[in-house]
Amino acid sequence: MESEIELDVMAVGAHPDDCEIGCGGTLAQLARQGLRVGIVDLTDGEPTPNCSSPAARLQEAEAAASRLGIQKRITLDLPNRRLFDTFESRIALARHFRIHRPKIVFCLEGKTPTASPDHWQAMQITEAAVFYSRLSKWDEHFGRLPVHVISRQVYYSLFYESQWSGIGPRQFVFDITDTLETKIEAVKCYRSQFPPEKDYIYDRIRSMANAIGLSAGLQSGEVLTATTALGSRNLLQTLLLS
């Protein structure tokens, strides 16, 4: 049984390193602000060409979580490369939502052409699990875990092959100026995925974060997409980031 710490935010990725690349700066910043943050990797991400074993990848993931300063990292045993949106995978994730009771869930968004199709499946599994978490009269699948209503779901993107082309509807930029380097250090923990010949990835992450930040008048940012229009009760804070 997982320890039952309650979390404010849970981010879900298909593989260890998805959350770091897509929203690592945001997660690190939220943790700095005192929120309790967790990551769920639906698979262990293995095998991959340069990683010696699943245990080695898990070690990298733990090191990355520690860099980000988050409270919890969970790796489910769903299969890498053949992750599918099945009833069982939805239940497996929803169980962790019921255990850790996040207010906000970060969900992978969109297809990643030329990269793993697991990402698209992860999006569908996460959306379904957010819903399954709240359904009553389902003890045969959830035992005594109480239902849990997740208040908000937001999407993050991996932006493979520079798919980002400006802010779209319901998107907003989260300021990661103070945690961009932390994000990069967390990604660097995955030496098996980013060996020295791929060091260019760090410049790309920096350039992307700065371009996204610039679009909102910030130094560096990550794009998040809400499922509904966002409201405001503090115009100065919203418009001036003051």
Binding site for Zn ion (CB under 5 A): 14-15, 18
Q: With respect to Zn ion, which residue has the nearer C-beta, 16 or 221?
A: 16
The CB-of-44 to Zn ion minimum distance in angstroms stands at 12
The CB-of-177 to Zn ion minimum distance in angstroms stands at 26
The CB-of-200 to Zn ion minimum distance in angstroms stands at 18
| CA distance linking residue 124 with residue 109, whole number of Å | 9
Determine how many CB atoms are found less than 10 A away from the CB of residue 216: 15
The CB-of-239 to Zn ion minimum distance in angstroms stands at 35
Q: Report DSSP state, residue 78.
A: P
Q: Is 122 helix (H, G, I), strand (E, B) or coil?
A: helix
Of all residues in the shown chain, the one whose CB is closest to Zn ion is: 15
The CB-of-190 to Zn ion minimum distance in angstroms stands at 11
Q: With respect to Zn ion, which residue has the nearer C-beta, 11 or 145?
A: 11
For residues 23 and 70, the answer to whether their CB atoms sit within 8 Å is no
| CA distance linking residue 183 with residue 195, whole number of Å | 17
Q: With respect to Zn ion, which residue has the nearer C-beta, 14 or 28?
A: 14
| CA distance linking residue 90 with residue 151, whole number of Å | 18
Q: With respect to Zn ion, which residue has the nearer C-beta, 133 or 193?
A: 193
Q: With respect to Zn ion, which residue has the nearer C-beta, 61 or 94?
A: 61
Q: With respect to Zn ion, which residue has the nearer C-beta, 81 or 141?
A: 81
- Beta-carbon contacts of 180 under 8 Å, excluding residues fewer than 6 positions away, are 25, 205, 206, 209, 220
User: DSSP of 145-183, one letter per residue?
Assistant: PPP----EEEEE---GGG---S--TTEEEEE-TTTHHHH
The CB-of-1 to Zn ion minimum distance in angstroms stands at 28
